Amino acid sequence: MNKTLKITGIVVAAIVVFFTIVAVLVKVLVSPAGVRKTVLPMVEKKLQRQVRLGDVQVSVFSGIVLKNLTVLEKDGVEPFVQAGLVKLKYRFWPLLSGRVVVNQILLDSPAIKVIRLPDGTFNYSDILAKKEQAAPQAKPEKGEINLLVSQVALTGGKIRYEDRKTNGRPFIYEITGVEIDAKDIAMDRQFPFTVKATVPGAKLEMGGNAADVGKKPAMNAVVTIKAADLGKLVAGLPPQLAAKTSALAPSGEVNVRLHLAGPVSAPKELLKDGEVKLTKVAVTASGQRPVLSGTLALKGRELSSRDLVLVMGSNTLKLAFTVADLLGKPLSLTSSVSADRFDLDPFLRKSPKKAGAAEEKPEPGPMNLPVRAVGSIQLGQTSLKGLPVTGLSVKYRLAENVLSIDELKGNVAGGSFNDTARIDLGRKGFAYTTALSVAGVKAETLVTALAPKPAGTVFGTLSFKGQVSGMGTQMAAMKKNISGQGNYEISQGKLTGPGLVQSLAQFLGIEQLRVINFEKFNGSFRVSHGKIMIDSTIAGRDVQMAPKGTAGLDKSLDISLQTRIAPQLTGRITGGRLGRFVTDDKGWGILPLKVTGNFSAPKFALDVSAVREQLKQKGKEQLERTIREKLLKGKEGERQPPEKELLEKGLRGILGK
């Protein structure tokens, strides 16, 4: 027992002696004056900034405590870094050899001000600028403080960001709750670290290892953003930035995990993999509020989507895409979009025009898109201006600023359509070509949806094939540059309504022609220099017409309308001597008409030159019949004598036959 007490007493005595020695050495070697003499010049030399220091306390167990440490800006007036409390902890054993080795630095509630200056540089840019390598420092003498820091900890920090490179008032953004913890710090090997911070609406965290910070700093770390609230994030932005996004009213939650690895000197190469998870992310745009959920995944340089869904009201759109190389030039994108049902009309609505004269906007482009894309769109059911469309399929390519629509097909109005197109985005105003075919479509349904003004005037089954090319997005440019050709046919239909048909019925004075029924209305067209040249025929039971001429894109008309009226109607418009010349041998009235004016107010008149030619032809036919009856009449089956054959040949020459 006595032996044990002796040993215990010896140990206690040794500890007391040890701490007494340490206490004496601390008082001798680590004095407040020595700290000021050593630490302040060292910090000022490293940062090239003036440093102010309040009270300095030295304790055997607490180490060195610096109060009210302030690093000033380059101008020596405003504070750059402020810390109410800085603790420097030192090693005990080096004290025995007369050296003070500080290995831990603890900062409590520091405040850092980061400023972007009007020239684009920062208030710390000069500190980070490369300088000539300094000469090796001499070995510290006894009593001097040597900073061999192996641990740095920062708690309760705040970073104030001020951007002065703005057109108006500088905006300010604050990051709070900054925590940094780095242990086993070494300049030539890796060591662990963690960084945490809070911004309005989200908490950020980074943890991992840093390496070779003395020569070529590198890291291997994971950055996470947990449960970021987009609404709060936007609300916490400076007013100048929040104003630009507040109209979108963003909401939803975002979770981010990013893996960074590699030298910090190549920031573009740092991102190795990660994912961004979106949960009901919504914005308001064009009167709609789409909601997006799903995951964006990064692996190497490849970015892809997973379970990405866009919801708009009762519509759900499935999205899938892959970017093969995020750092590639151009970017290579593959995408697909599909939905059982999705209404396109909300995206196609135009904003109401403001009162006053319409202004021609400048033509867009040329565009230089660093993207190559291939994709498809599949919509089971959709609508276009209220027109139901089923089986919509689109396949497209984008390369070298040229967008190619390889397939655009679907079913509409009882029939189908198929289109291909090419749009050169690299030219001002763009340049485009398209080839459209339509088969078996109900004309009245199509016209009602796409051209409401003439709705209810055209009925029947429409087939169409045409090619159109042009340049420009403004109406004036489109009218000037558009060209094309094609053919069309409407079967088992009718023409009615105000405009051409009603004006024709009124001109002829035939009520029955207010509705023109036809078995077939077909023809061809050619577009050039702002005009559409048409050559067509309308075959009906009561009327037959052959419209031929031009219809301007300005709605003007210049059409020759050769019209044939059925015998039961001819007597109502022709009679007397004129009737003998405007009817054929079957009793159909023949009226060569001219249509001018415009679509809404057409003007009908007899085509005088055509009537004159018609009368001449009618006179020739009448003269031929008379001569044949009087001079060349012979018995049936009897061979004509030679003189009659000569007379008939001469008659043909006179009549131009």
Side-chain-side CA neighbours of 473 within 13 Å: the count stands at 13
| Residue 124: pLDDT band with limits 50, 70, 90 | confident
Length of the chain: 657
The percent of residues in the chain predicted with pLDDT above 70, rounded, is 77
For β-strands 100-108 and 145-163, DSSP reports them as parallel
Residue with the bigger pLDDT between 359 and 518: it is 518
| Residue 131: pLDDT band with limits 50, 70, 90 | very low
Q: What is the pLDDT of residue 613?
A: 64
Asked if residue 619 has pLDDT above 60, the reply is no
210-223: pLDDT as tens digits: 888 777 888 999 99
Residue with the bigger pLDDT between 548 and 58: it is 548
Asked if residue 227 has pLDDT above 80, the reply is yes
| Residue 386: pLDDT band with limits 50, 70, 90 | confident
140-191: pLDDT as tens digits: 454 454 445 677 888 998 988 888 887 777 778 888 998 989 888 777 788 8
Q: What is the pLDDT of residue 547?
A: 93
Token reading at 640: 């004509």
Q: What is the pLDDT of residue 62?
A: 62
Arithmetic mean of pLDDT, 54-81: 81
pTM above 0.85, yes or no: no
| Residue 7: pLDDT band with limits 50, 70, 90 | very low
Q: What is the pLDDT of residue 486?
A: 96
38-56: pLDDT as tens digits: 777 877 887 788 888 888 8
Question: Residue 534 in 3-state DSSP?
Answer: strand
The candidate with the shortest Cα–Cα distance to 308, out of 344, 338, 267, 330, is 338
Token reading at 601: 């107010």
- CA dist 310 and 599 (Å) reads 44
The candidate with the shortest Cα–Cα distance to 339, out of 290, 397, 382, 389, is 382
Q: What is the pLDDT of residue 276?
A: 96
CB 582 within 8 A of CB 589: yes
Residue with the bigger pLDDT between 62 and 423: it is 423
- Alpha-carbon distances of 136 from 40, 42, 133, 140, 351, rounded to whole Å: 19, 14, 9, 12, 70
Arithmetic mean of pLDDT, 341-363: 67
Backbone dihedral angles phi then psi of residue 406, each to the nearest 5 degrees: -75, -25
Arithmetic mean of pLDDT, 294-314: 93
Arithmetic mean of pLDDT, 275-301: 91
The pLDDT mean for the chain works out to 80
The candidate with the shortest Cα–Cα distance to 436, out of 409, 415, 458, 470, is 409
Which range (28-37, 228-237, 239-248, 412-421) has the least confidence? 28-37
- CA dist 113 and 80 (Å) reads 5
- Quote the Cα angle for 600-602-607, to 5°: 165
Matching residue, tokens 């890291």: 219
Exposed/middle/buried for residue 264 (C-beta within 10 Å: 0-12, 13-18, 19+): middle
Q: What is the pLDDT of residue 643?
A: 47
Handedness of CA 291, 294, 298, 304 (dihedral sign): negative
The percent of residues in the chain predicted with pLDDT above 90, rounded, is 34
Arithmetic mean of pLDDT, 495-517: 85
- CA dist 121 and 165 (Å) reads 9
Asked if residue 434 has pLDDT above 60, the reply is yes
Token reading at 200: 């309005």
Asked if residue 303 has pLDDT above 70, the reply is yes
Arithmetic mean of pLDDT, 509-538: 92
- Alpha-carbon distances of 555 from 58, 479, 507, rounded to whole Å: 95, 11, 21
Residue with the bigger pLDDT between 193 and 22: it is 193
Query: What is the amino acid identity at position 654?
Result: I
CB 422 within 8 A of CB 436: no
- Alpha-carbon distances of 438 from 50, 82, 409, 415, 417, rounded to whole Å: 80, 74, 10, 7, 4
Arithmetic mean of pLDDT, 385-411: 94
Query: What is the amino acid identity at position 388?
Result: P
The dihedral region occupied by 553, where left means phi > 0, alpha psi between -120 and 50, and beta the remainder, is alpha
- CA dist 337 and 340 (Å) reads 11
Tell me 553's DSSP state. Answer: T
- CA dist 381 and 410 (Å) reads 10
| Residue 504: pLDDT band with limits 50, 70, 90 | confident
Token reading at 300: 């190497």
71-123: pLDDT as tens digits: 888 888 888 888 888 887 766 555 555 555 566 778 888 888 888 888 888 88
Residue with the bigger pLDDT between 437 and 240: it is 437
Question: Residue 89 in 3-state DSSP?
Answer: strand
Matching residue, tokens 């044949």: 628
Asked if residue 346 has pLDDT above 80, the reply is no
Q: What is the pLDDT of residue 391?
A: 95
Beta-bridged to residue 206, according to DSSP, are 195, 223
